[in-house]
Amino acid sequence: MSNPNYLPLATGPRLRHSPFFDATCRYGCRIYSVYNHMLLPLYYQSPEADFWRLVNNVTVWDVAGERQVEITGPDAARFSQLLTPRNISNCDVGQCKYVLITAENGGIINDPLLLKLAKNHFWLSLADSDVLLWTKGVAAFAGMDVHIREPDVSPIQIQGPKSPKVMTAIFGDWVQELRYFRFRELDHDGIPLLISRTGWSGERGYEIFLRDGSFGDTLWERVMEAGRAYGIGPAGPSTIRRIEAGMLSYGADMTLEENPFEIGLGRLVDLDQPVDFIGKAALREIAKKGVSRRLVGVQIEGEPLSPNRQFWPVLDVEGGSIGRISSCVWSPRLKRNIALGIVKVGHDRIGTRLEIDTGGTIRRATVVETPFYDPKKEIVKGS
């Protein structure tokens, strides 16, 4: 506990336990976070060792903290469209979409994965905010016939280049045919599941949504057993890998204070659709006026930095405050400090020189392209 990035956390029933909690303890989880009022296992061996296992082999993550909001009822499709600027009218049953949930002013409430289980049956697989309360609040006076609840659904992620082999070994050859952002519901030896080809790693991967928490231990051990031949190991969401991929973390890289255009996700906003989704008027105005700050990739010079515990001020070369770094990590693969942050427009062009206050020490930095690493091209972009 000498590393100040880790603090002793008192547990208790207010911080919920995932159905895989006992398994993650047995497998030696060493560091946790809290996500949607639930303990979220992060690291087992070390952030770096877990990262290498993810990119070279395959890992299993307890991400039950990614709770689901389930929307059903005669108006479920209409209601779901009300919640998001993304046009989901073309979403098939069995398809997932990455969506933003926006407030009246266009601020971002969450960036869940939306799953369409039936014409009027949706899940929002959440980042860390109480979207259950948001959606129930909206429904209170929306005048629509919907039923909203948090079902007994807990995802694990199987991520890494050997994940198709593990998944095929357990569930059969059909997994290899599962297209990106598609899912299938199934009963596996009496365990109710939904399997999607999605994940938060930048690597090939799958999510297994367990639909009955009492099978948590059984499912975990089945995955571990099938994965042994492929070097599987337990891990958690990899800060290194997701920043390499330029993927955003809600609550850090985006919050209620940011809108989709500021964080470079304008492609998820369809202002031309007929539905007046929540935030449409504000987002139309923002689209017209343009934004005053933008999310960028940043490369920070010098020795390896510990991940930022708080936001780090971004300064221009004269020392004036022009933004903040929200996520920073040392990439052992790229051998450099890579970061995401929001800066004033005018300082967001590739190649702009910045200075970062990394907690008292100023480091020089440069705006670079994201993703920092693209496995398809096996080249380092933005370098």
Q: Are 122 and 112 in contact (CB under 8 A)?
A: no
Measured CA to CA, the distance from residue 312 to residue 211 in angstroms comes to: 40
Q: Smallest distance from the beta carbon of 43 to its own copies, in angstroms?
A: 8
Nearer to its own copies, 157 or 327 (CB): 327
Question: 């780090």: which residue's tokens?
Answer: 312
Nearer to its own copies, 196 or 326 (CB): 326
Q: Smallest distance from the beta carbon of 346 to its own copies, in angstroms?
A: 24
To 5 degrees, how large is the angle CA 280–CA 247–CA 380?
A: 135
Q: Smallest distance from the beta carbon of 159 to its own copies, in angstroms?
A: 19
**Which DSSP state fits 302?**
S
Question: 């993703």: which residue's tokens?
Answer: 371
Q: Smallest distance from the beta carbon of 181 to its own copies, in angstroms?
A: 25
H helices present in 263-341, as ranges: 280-289
Nearer to its own copies, 95 or 105 (CB): 105
Nearer to its own copies, 251 or 332 (CB): 251
Q: Which residues pair with 328 in a beta bridge?
A: 339
Interface positions with its own copies (CB under 8 A): 1, 5-15, 17, 30-34, 37, 39, 42-43, 103-104, 109, 128-143, 249-252, 256, 278, 307-311, 326-327
What are the angstrom distances between the C-alpha of 107 and each of 35, 254, 266?
20, 9, 13
Nearer to its own copies, 108 or 354 (CB): 108
Nearer to its own copies, 31 or 169 (CB): 31
Measured CA to CA, the distance from residue 20 to residue 188 in angstroms comes to: 17
Q: Smallest distance from the beta carbon of 126 to its own copies, in angstroms?
A: 11
Phi-psi region of 264 (alpha: psi -120 to 50; beta: other; left: phi over 0): left
Nearer to its own copies, 227 or 279 (CB): 279
Q: Smallest distance from the beta carbon of 120 to its own copies, in angstroms?
A: 19
Q: Smallest distance from the beta carbon of 137 to its own copies, in angstroms?
A: 2
Measured CA to CA, the distance from residue 296 to residue 264 in angstroms comes to: 9
Count CB-CB contacts under 10 A for residue 174: 12
Measured CA to CA, the distance from residue 30 to residue 236 in angstroms comes to: 11
Q: Smallest distance from the beta carbon of 94 to its own copies, in angstroms?
A: 29
Nearer to its own copies, 138 or 287 (CB): 138
Q: Smallest distance from the beta carbon of 251 to its own copies, in angstroms?
A: 4
Q: Are 108 and 260 in contact (CB under 8 A)?
A: yes
CA 262 to chain centre: 18
Q: Are 180 and 164 in contact (CB under 8 A)?
A: no
What are the angstrom distances between the C-alpha of 288 and each of 32, 39, 235, 284?
42, 42, 43, 6
Nearer to its own copies, 139 or 194 (CB): 139
Residues in contact with 146: Cβ distance below 8 Å, sequence separation at least 6, in sequence order: 71, 72, 73, 74, 75, 76, 79, 139
